[in-house]
Amino acid sequence: MAGRLTLYIFLAPVLLWLFLLIVLPHIDLFFISLQAENDMGDMVWSLSNYEAFFTEKIYWLTFLRTAVYAILTTILTFLITFPIAFYITKVVSLRVSGFFTILLLVPFWVSELVRIYGWMILLRESGVFNHYLMQLGLIDKPIEMLYNDISMIMGLVYTSMLFMVVPLISSLEGLDDGLIEAAYDLGASKIVIIWKIVIPYIMPGITSGSIVVFMLTLGNYLTPNLMGGKNSLWFTEQIYNQFIASFNWNQGAAFGFLLLILSTLIIWIGLKVTRQNLSRALS
């Protein structure tokens, strides 16, 4: 009884914190999303805010575009971070791997806003890249590298790398090097070893990292807005416009819950297709 009482005392502040800052605001927003003005200007219970998402083409097309780019960003993030994680855990020594891990963490000690502005300084017409390209004679005039889908995806991949590489490093550290050496001795190629041994073993890490990167990318507002420009058409910008620009909190709350529901559905479908277990991936 004393042990349980101690546990409840330690859990009480955490549970209270979660309830006040996460659960309670979401409950309030959910009720707001179910209200709409009638012809008399009075607020009534209605599903019209949710219906607007499916009846207005721009809304669901924007979400579809956002989801596709979020999936693409997740795939690119894995393809970039997997060789880095493998090199840190299986190639270099323990001391060097710790140094490289710190190098991966250092950029993320700075605010995301500062890092995005750093990329904007590099990519803008008067930026570093254009300056050296003109100095080398490769271009005659500056090229606009910002405000397009490529630069936006590059920024999203950069801001998401840490959340993919950490689960991969954690999973690869548990992989016995003897399995890889035995496969080499039996004549397996590098591709076969990665595909048949490494990937299946670290699949929980891939799954957990992919879920985090996908959710963060789908709900990202800063990077698409700054690097994608006015033509980014990101769904979070639709939510922002409803709350801030139009002062339509009912519609914005509905869009927020639709983002939560649809993103959860996409993750559930992904887990079923890949035959992964969410509890194992998050353990």
- pLDDT tens column, 135-169: 888 888 888 888 888 899 999 999 999 999 999 99
CATH: 3.75.10.10, 1.10.3720.10, 2.10.109.10, 3.30.565.10. Which one for 47-282? 1.10.3720.10
**Tokens 């073993």 belong to residue:** 201
> What is the structure's pLDDT at 124?
86
| Predicted model pTM | 0.89
Mean pLDDT, residues 256-277 taken together: 87
Report the distance separating Cα 120 and Cα 227, nearest Å.
Answer: 7
> Tell me, what's the pLDDT at 94?
80
Beta bridge partners of 44: 36
At how many degrees (to 10) do helices 203-218 and 249-274 cross? 160
Give the separation between CA 80 and CA 69, rounded to whole angstroms.
16
What DSSP element (H or E) covers 44? strand 43-45
Percent of the chain at pLDDT above 70? Answer: 96
The 10s digit of each residue's pLDDT in 14-49 is 889 989 888 898 899 899 999 888 777 777 888 889
pLDDT given at position 31: 92
pLDDT bracket for residue 229 (50, 70, 90): confident
264 has a pLDDT exceeding 60: yes
* Residue 238 CA to its chain's centroid (Å): 18
Radius of gyration in angstroms for the set of CA atoms belonging to the chain, rounded to a whole number: 23
Residue 57 and residue 66: Cα distance in Å, rounded? 14
Query: What mean pLDDT is predicted for residues 44-70?
Result: 91
Q: Which residues contact 243 (CB under 8 A, 6 or more apart)?
A: 249, 252
Structure tokens at 133: 């390209």
Longest dimension (CA), the chain: 79
Residues paired with residue 43 on neighbouring β-strands, in sequence order: 37
